[in-house]
Structure 1
Protein backbone atom coordinates (compact mmCIF):
# COMPACT_ATOMS: atom_id res chain seq x y z
CA UNK A 1 0.00 0.00 0.00
CA UNK A 2 1.17 3.51 -0.73
CA UNK A 3 2.46 5.42 2.27
CA UNK A 4 0.75 8.83 2.38
CA UNK A 5 3.71 10.43 4.15
CA UNK A 6 6.50 8.92 2.04
CA UNK A 7 4.74 8.95 -1.34
CA UNK A 8 2.41 11.97 -1.33
CA UNK A 9 2.14 12.27 -5.12
CA UNK A 10 1.31 8.59 -5.58
CA UNK A 11 -1.14 8.83 -2.66
CA UNK A 12 -2.96 11.75 -4.29
CA UNK A 13 -3.20 9.90 -7.61
CA UNK A 14 -4.52 6.80 -5.86
CA UNK A 15 -7.12 8.76 -3.90
CA UNK A 16 -8.16 10.73 -7.00
CA UNK A 17 -9.00 7.49 -8.82
CA UNK A 18 -11.01 6.14 -5.87
CA UNK A 19 -12.90 9.40 -5.38
CA UNK A 20 -13.65 9.64 -9.10
CA UNK A 21 -14.90 6.04 -9.13
CA UNK A 22 -17.17 6.87 -6.19
CA UNK A 23 -18.54 9.97 -7.94
CA UNK A 24 -19.23 8.10 -11.18
CA UNK A 25 -20.80 5.18 -9.34
CA UNK A 26 -23.13 7.60 -7.52
CA UNK A 27 -24.10 9.17 -10.84
CA UNK A 28 -24.69 5.75 -12.36
CA UNK A 29 -27.02 4.80 -9.50
CA UNK A 30 -28.97 8.07 -9.84
CA UNK A 31 -29.28 7.60 -13.60
CA UNK A 32 -30.54 4.03 -13.23
CA UNK A 33 -33.09 5.06 -10.61
CA UNK A 34 -34.39 8.18 -12.38
CA UNK A 35 -34.03 7.57 -16.12
CA UNK A 36 -36.64 5.13 -17.47
CA UNK A 37 -34.76 5.05 -20.79
CA UNK A 38 -31.44 4.01 -19.23
CA UNK A 39 -30.21 1.21 -21.48
CA UNK A 40 -27.94 -1.81 -21.29
CA UNK A 41 -25.50 0.08 -23.51
CA UNK A 42 -25.48 3.01 -21.07
CA UNK A 43 -24.81 0.59 -18.22
CA UNK A 44 -21.87 -1.03 -20.02
CA UNK A 45 -20.35 2.38 -20.72
CA UNK A 46 -20.91 3.74 -17.22
CA UNK A 47 -19.71 0.58 -15.45
CA UNK A 48 -16.68 0.53 -17.74
CA UNK A 49 -15.87 4.07 -16.65
CA UNK A 50 -16.14 3.13 -12.95
CA UNK A 51 -14.07 -0.01 -13.54
CA UNK A 52 -11.36 2.01 -15.31
CA UNK A 53 -10.96 4.24 -12.26
CA UNK A 54 -10.86 1.24 -9.91
CA UNK A 55 -8.33 -0.51 -12.12
CA UNK A 56 -6.08 2.55 -12.17
CA UNK A 57 -6.41 2.83 -8.38
CA UNK A 58 -5.40 -0.81 -8.09
CA UNK A 59 -2.34 -0.27 -10.28
CA UNK A 60 -1.35 2.87 -8.39
CA UNK A 61 -1.70 1.17 -5.01
CA UNK A 62 1.40 -0.91 -5.63
CA UNK A 63 4.69 0.36 -4.28
CA UNK A 64 7.75 0.21 -6.51
CA UNK A 65 7.29 -2.85 -8.69
CA UNK A 66 10.21 -4.63 -10.33
CA UNK A 67 9.97 -4.69 -14.13
CA UNK A 68 9.36 -8.44 -14.14
CA UNK A 69 6.29 -8.02 -11.90
CA UNK A 70 4.65 -5.11 -13.71
CA UNK A 71 2.16 -7.32 -15.58
CA UNK A 72 1.03 -8.75 -12.26
CA UNK A 73 0.78 -5.31 -10.66
CA UNK A 74 -1.19 -3.93 -13.61
CA UNK A 75 -3.95 -6.53 -13.47
CA UNK A 76 -7.12 -6.05 -11.54
CA UNK A 77 -7.12 -8.39 -8.50
CA UNK A 78 -7.99 -11.92 -9.56
CA UNK A 79 -8.62 -13.18 -6.04
CA UNK A 80 -12.01 -11.46 -5.76
CA UNK A 81 -14.81 -13.94 -6.24
CA UNK A 82 -17.82 -12.65 -8.21
CA UNK A 83 -21.14 -12.76 -6.45
CA UNK A 84 -24.13 -14.36 -8.13
Structure 2
Protein backbone atom coordinates (compact mmCIF):
# COMPACT_ATOMS: atom_id res chain seq x y z
CA UNK A 1 0.00 0.00 0.00
CA UNK A 2 1.16 3.51 -0.77
CA UNK A 3 2.39 5.50 2.19
CA UNK A 4 0.60 8.86 2.16
CA UNK A 5 3.46 10.70 3.89
CA UNK A 6 6.35 9.13 1.96
CA UNK A 7 4.70 8.91 -1.47
CA UNK A 8 2.43 11.95 -1.63
CA UNK A 9 2.30 12.16 -5.44
CA UNK A 10 1.45 8.47 -5.82
CA UNK A 11 -1.11 8.79 -3.01
CA UNK A 12 -2.78 11.74 -4.76
CA UNK A 13 -3.02 9.80 -8.04
CA UNK A 14 -4.42 6.76 -6.23
CA UNK A 15 -7.03 8.84 -4.42
CA UNK A 16 -7.94 10.68 -7.64
CA UNK A 17 -8.85 7.39 -9.30
CA UNK A 18 -10.94 6.23 -6.34
CA UNK A 19 -12.74 9.56 -6.05
CA UNK A 20 -13.42 9.65 -9.79
CA UNK A 21 -14.76 6.09 -9.65
CA UNK A 22 -17.07 7.10 -6.81
CA UNK A 23 -18.32 10.14 -8.75
CA UNK A 24 -19.08 8.07 -11.84
CA UNK A 25 -20.73 5.35 -9.78
CA UNK A 26 -22.92 7.92 -8.04
CA UNK A 27 -23.91 9.32 -11.44
CA UNK A 28 -24.66 5.82 -12.70
CA UNK A 29 -26.93 5.11 -9.73
CA UNK A 30 -28.70 8.43 -10.24
CA UNK A 31 -29.22 7.73 -13.94
CA UNK A 32 -30.55 4.25 -13.22
CA UNK A 33 -33.08 5.67 -10.76
CA UNK A 34 -34.17 8.69 -12.78
CA UNK A 35 -33.91 7.71 -16.45
CA UNK A 36 -36.48 5.11 -17.55
CA UNK A 37 -34.78 4.85 -20.97
CA UNK A 38 -31.40 3.91 -19.49
CA UNK A 39 -30.42 0.66 -21.17
CA UNK A 40 -27.71 -1.91 -21.75
CA UNK A 41 -25.49 0.26 -24.00
CA UNK A 42 -25.36 3.04 -21.40
CA UNK A 43 -24.78 0.56 -18.58
CA UNK A 44 -21.86 -1.08 -20.39
CA UNK A 45 -20.22 2.28 -21.04
CA UNK A 46 -20.78 3.61 -17.52
CA UNK A 47 -19.68 0.40 -15.76
CA UNK A 48 -16.64 0.22 -18.02
CA UNK A 49 -15.73 3.76 -17.01
CA UNK A 50 -16.07 2.96 -13.30
CA UNK A 51 -14.09 -0.24 -13.76
CA UNK A 52 -11.30 1.62 -15.58
CA UNK A 53 -10.87 4.00 -12.63
CA UNK A 54 -10.89 1.15 -10.13
CA UNK A 55 -8.39 -0.80 -12.22
CA UNK A 56 -6.05 2.20 -12.36
CA UNK A 57 -6.42 2.69 -8.60
CA UNK A 58 -5.52 -0.96 -8.09
CA UNK A 59 -2.43 -0.56 -10.27
CA UNK A 60 -1.43 2.65 -8.44
CA UNK A 61 -1.95 1.13 -5.00
CA UNK A 62 1.74 0.36 -4.82
CA UNK A 63 1.29 -3.28 -4.04
CA UNK A 64 3.90 -5.43 -5.72
CA UNK A 65 2.11 -8.03 -7.79
CA UNK A 66 3.72 -11.15 -9.15
CA UNK A 67 3.23 -11.90 -12.86
CA UNK A 68 0.16 -14.07 -12.28
CA UNK A 69 -1.51 -11.48 -10.03
CA UNK A 70 -0.72 -8.66 -12.47
CA UNK A 71 -2.21 -10.59 -15.39
CA UNK A 72 -5.36 -11.31 -13.37
CA UNK A 73 -5.68 -7.75 -12.02
CA UNK A 74 -5.26 -6.22 -15.47
CA UNK A 75 -8.03 -8.17 -17.17
CA UNK A 76 -11.39 -6.69 -18.04
CA UNK A 77 -14.28 -8.63 -16.45
CA UNK A 78 -15.42 -11.61 -18.52
CA UNK A 79 -19.05 -10.53 -18.45
CA UNK A 80 -18.55 -6.97 -19.74
CA UNK A 81 -17.81 -6.31 -23.38
CA UNK A 82 -15.38 -3.40 -23.90
CA UNK A 83 -16.81 -0.49 -25.88
CA UNK A 84 -14.91 1.22 -28.67
Same fold (TM over 0.5): yes
Calculate the TM-score normalised by the size of structure 2. Answer: 0.78
- When the two structures are aligned, how many residues end up with a matched partner? 75
Cα distance, 1:52–1:21 mapped onto 2, change above 3 Å:
same
For residues 70 and 22 of structure 1, the distance between their equivalents in structure 2, rounded to whole angstroms, comes to 28
TM-score (norm 1): 0.78
Q: Deviations over 1:16-67 (max 9, x none)?
A: 000000000000000000000001110000000000000000000025x59x
Shift >3 Å, 4+ stretches: 69-75
Q: CA RMSD in A?
A: 2.4
Q: Which residue of 1 aligns with 2:39?
A: 39
Where does the alignment leave 5 or more consecutive residues of structure 2 unmatched?
A: 76-84
User: Secondary structure of the equivalent of 2:45?
Assistant: helix
Counterpart selection for 1:76 from 73, 77, 82: 73
Secondary structure class of the residue paired with 2:73: coil
